[in-house]
Chain A
Amino acid sequence: MADEIPIFPKAGSILINTGSIVNWNRLKRKPNHTPTDELKECISATVGSWLNDLDKTKAQYATDLKCINPTFSSNLSGDDREQLKITVKIFVTQPDPLALEDAIEKVLADLDVTSLETVLLSLSQPDQKSVSMDGIKTLWEVLERMVEKEKILAIGISDLAKDELEQLHTWSTVKPCINHVNLASCCVMPPDLTEYAKEQDIQLLTHSDPKEMFPDKTFQDVLCSTATEKDSEGWSVSWIARYTALVKDRGIIKAKGYLVKAVRDVKKGK
């Protein structure tokens, strides 16, 4: 496998759009998927199908890859846009404002909409002992600008304890409307958190996303098994965006999908 000729040796960035996975039967067969498992399945399938249709000659020189799965459209523009509530959760591992901005713009473009109802931010730095409030604030300012431009209607944060949430709430111009909490880490919500959230009108919603949503190694493994070993070297995930479009009045999920951006320094690879 190591001797295999790489398919996209010059690629320094890859953007994967899974399209709406709501009708993916292969996913429905695995009810106990973790979010990481689900993402792995999705990326693997999208890249796999993209590789099938790929012009291999052109790919040798491509620097920026865009993998989409044409069967499962992620286009949400259309007559019923008004009835949709689009929620996007963006996972980053570094407090890089450009990456976050890039994520939001790419989601808007790929969904073909001008605004998103809710964006939730998850900054997860597993190597750090405590939450970096400075990091969060840097990123929060990006979100606030987006709200000002009416590209996002409401913004929320993830996995903050009461004190951190209070800090963010007090400091921010546009207040967080949601705190997305991992239910596994606290079977019962801490009472100080629920009380504070009630006072400040912050919704406490739960999730089961792991602390490390998608380690770089996992991403590289997926590329390795779908493309080649050389193609998988050096990648690091810039951001992951998971979107859900709910039909407001009917409580039905119209679409759900992922966008993933990864980058690498190609010169290093050689």
Chain B
Amino acid sequence: MGLLSEGTPLSWEETKAKADHVREHGITQFINLWKRHKDVKKDCLLWGDEVEYTLVHLDHENEKSSLLLKGDKVLHVLQQQERENPADLKTIWRPEYANYMVEGTPGKPYGGLMAYFNMVEANMRRRRKEVMRLLSEPGETALSVVTFPRLGCPNFSRPEFPPTPTEGASRSLFYPEEVIFPGHPRFKTLTRNIRQRRGEKVAINIPIFKDKNTPSPFQEDLSQYGDSGESQAASLPDHIYLDAMGFGMGCSCLQMTFQACNIDEARHLYDQLAPLCPIIMALSAGSPIYRGFLSDIDCRWFVISNSVDCRTREERGLEPLQKDRFRIHKSRYDTIDSYLGPCNACYNDIDMVYDRDICSRLKAAGVDELLARHVAHLFIRDPISLFSEKIDQNDEEESDHFENIQSTNWQSMRFKPPPPNSDIGWRVEFRPTEVQLTDFENAAYVVFVVLLTRVILSFHLNLVIPISKVDQNMKTAAKRDALRQGKFYFKKDLLTGYSPPKASECICNCPCGNVDISRAVDAEDEYTEMTINEIINGKVSNNL
């Protein structure tokens, strides 16, 4: 997960005080990166995947399983090779939010030849083996599973720790401090700052699955966990209540990143993959159980979304705007709000909140309207962690302030500018896939998505539909059995290698740089509702 700068984290108040500083320099850093790399023409395809593993302890004798809090110990050994022999790495390891998680990626990115697709599963197998080798105590194992079903249940970890509802970063009724990765201050800092910024604990209410014996309404008495009444008020009947960042960021996913040949291709791929986010998520669904209860959802997306929702009551629209600047419609972890390619401006039919001043500043520097709005949208957020050593930067050579905001906007797709001082180009990250239990399945999803990008580019396919429909699809995709029962908006005809007539009207009247959002196209005849099966396997129709 993101940025791991060294050092001493500031308190929330100190961080908030520096918010404008971070934003201002972050934009300068983006402008510098953009200027330096906007004309790079011929980058090659490089790509990679990230798999998150969950360390588990199985006590067969007592038929008990628990989350093994050994991430820091295991990582220390796993990262040895990186310290000792950085030139010839086959695998790279990073910490994740919880101390029962480790994240592995291939040592070197894969390249443009088809042969690389054969390497993915082998490298994943190698990664799993490396972790397993370090789990030598009886009962210890590693799983690539989206959620641990009893995360947050009493004594779910090993060692066991009691939750601390009145102190610590989370203040959770269920999630002890010690579960958060202790090896770097970032994760606890984020947890505390999100809670303090929001002004209250995060509240995640997941619809419960109504089984035969589920009481109606289903409502837990949270006082049994030490609740003073705050949580009870935040919990909803017929929902599973969770109250910590750890419930979201302690979920595991499968991510793919690829480098495009230039900025335009990156923007194009970002757009083309966006409509696929809900589809792939529904296909890969694997997280129906939370805090020991069967839920009515199959995917983790909105759990994570709510678990890091730092919006204040004003921003959420519960109180009139006084201290805060914007009414914000989404958590900083959620789906994207706009397409980036100029020919897709007409499909941006969501009222996207963005910082007008930042947008103007970017445009003055030469950035086009769409990209300027995108960055200005990311930058409505405050930084939620800041390290004292990183406050003053050389904006020409460092980009920590930009990355600070960029990496704490956790969206379904991420558009990644080249880092300073490196050969790396413009990249796109695909983030919604739920991790699978086996290396074979994980490799299949990774290869499928990357291959799909090659097909989209080779055959000039166009999957873009109004972005509001993609958002609706995401809600549908998270539901129980969306895979078989869900209906998703999807483009009827993928073959227009050229913009459809309405879109080209839009372009003629507002050339790149003059996008008028009120001209969002009514593209109803371009898309229709389909099941996942029809989208993936085709729809038998009378007219071809």
Contact = CB atoms under 8 A, between A and B. Distances in A.
B508 interface: no
Interface stretch (A26-34, A183-191, A221-229, A230-238): A26-34
B112 A250 contact: yes
Interface string A30-41: 111000000000
Given A248-B112, A250-B44, A250-B261, 16 more contacts: A23-B460, A25-B497, A28-B459, A29-B544, A32-B538, A246-B114, A248-B113, A249-B42, A249-B45, A249-B112, A250-B45, A250-B457, A251-B112, A253-B454, A253-B458, A254-B458
Interface SS of A by simple majority? loop
Interface size class of B (residues with CB under 8 A): 10 to 19
A14 interface: no
A246 B538 CA distance: 27
Nearest to A248: B112
B538 A31 contact: yes
Contacts of B459: 22-23, 28, 253
A247 B112 contact: yes
A98 interface: no
B495 interface: yes
Q: Which 6 A-B pairs rank lowest in CB-CB distance, beginning with the nearest?
A: A249-B44, A253-B458, A251-B112, A249-B112, A250-B45, A25-B495
Contact of B113 (A23, A25, A251): A251
17 contacts: A22-B458, A22-B459, A23-B460, A28-B494, A28-B495, A30-B544, A247-B112, A248-B112, A248-B113, A249-B112, A249-B261, A250-B112, A250-B457, A252-B454, A252-B458, A253-B454, A253-B458
A245 to B, nearest CB: 11
Residue of B111, B112, B114, B497 with most chain A CB atoms under a 10 A cut-off: B112
Contacts of A253: 454, 458-459
Interface in A142-165: none
Contacts of B457: 250, 252
Contacts of B454: 250-253
A29 B44 CA distance: 30
B112 A29 contact: no
Interface of A: 22-23, 25, 28-32, 246-254
Contact of B111 (A22, A30, A249): A249
B517 to A, nearest CB: 31
Contacts of B44: 249-250
Contacts of A31: 538
Interface in B242-301: 261
Interface in B84-105: none
Residue of A246, A248, A249, A254 with most chain B CB atoms under a 10 A cut-off: A249
Contacts of B114: 246, 251
Contacts of A28: 459, 494-495
Contacts of B544: 29-30
Contacts of B111: 249
Nearest to A80: B42
Interface in B362-380: none
A22 B495 CA distance: 12
Nearest to A83: B42
Contacts of A250: 44-45, 112, 261, 454, 457
B449 to A, nearest CB: 13
Contacts of A25: 495, 497
Contacts of A248: 112-113
Contacts of B460: 23
A247 B113 CA distance: 9
A200 B538 CA distance: 41
A25 B42 CA distance: 28
A71 to B, nearest CB: 14
A153 to B, nearest CB: 15
B45 A251 contact: yes
Nearest to A30: B544
B355 to A, nearest CB: 35
Interface string B426-457: 00000000000000000000000000001001
Interface in B472-524: 494-495, 497
A249 B45 CA distance: 6
A105 B111 CA distance: 32
Residue of B457, B459, B494 with most chain A CB atoms under a 10 A cut-off: B459
A29 B492 CA distance: 12
Contacts of A32: 538
Nearest to B42: A249
A127 to B, nearest CB: 34
A25 B460 CA distance: 10
Residue of A29, A30, A246, A251 with most chain B CB atoms under a 10 A cut-off: A251
Nearest to A255: B458
Given A249-B44, A252-B458, A23 B497 contact: yes
A229 B272 CA distance: 47
A32 B544 CA distance: 13
B110 to A, nearest CB: 10
Contacts of B112: 247-251
A18 to B, nearest CB: 16
Contacts of A254: 458
A43 to B, nearest CB: 20
Nearest to B259: A250
Contacts of B45: 249-251
A28 B458 CA distance: 12
A92 B111 CA distance: 34
A162 to B, nearest CB: 20
Contacts of B42: 249
A249 B259 CA distance: 11
Contacts of A22: 458-459
Nearest to B454: A251
A246 B497 CA distance: 19
A22 B261 CA distance: 20
A31 to B, nearest CB: 6
Residue of A30, A246, A252 with most chain B CB atoms under a 10 A cut-off: A252
Nearest to A26: B544
A31 B539 CA distance: 11
A247 to B, nearest CB: 7
A22 B44 CA distance: 21
A248 B114 CA distance: 9
B191 to A, nearest CB: 40
B495 A29 contact: yes
A17 B312 CA distance: 65
Contacts of A23: 459-460, 497
Contacts of B497: 23, 25
B258 to A, nearest CB: 10
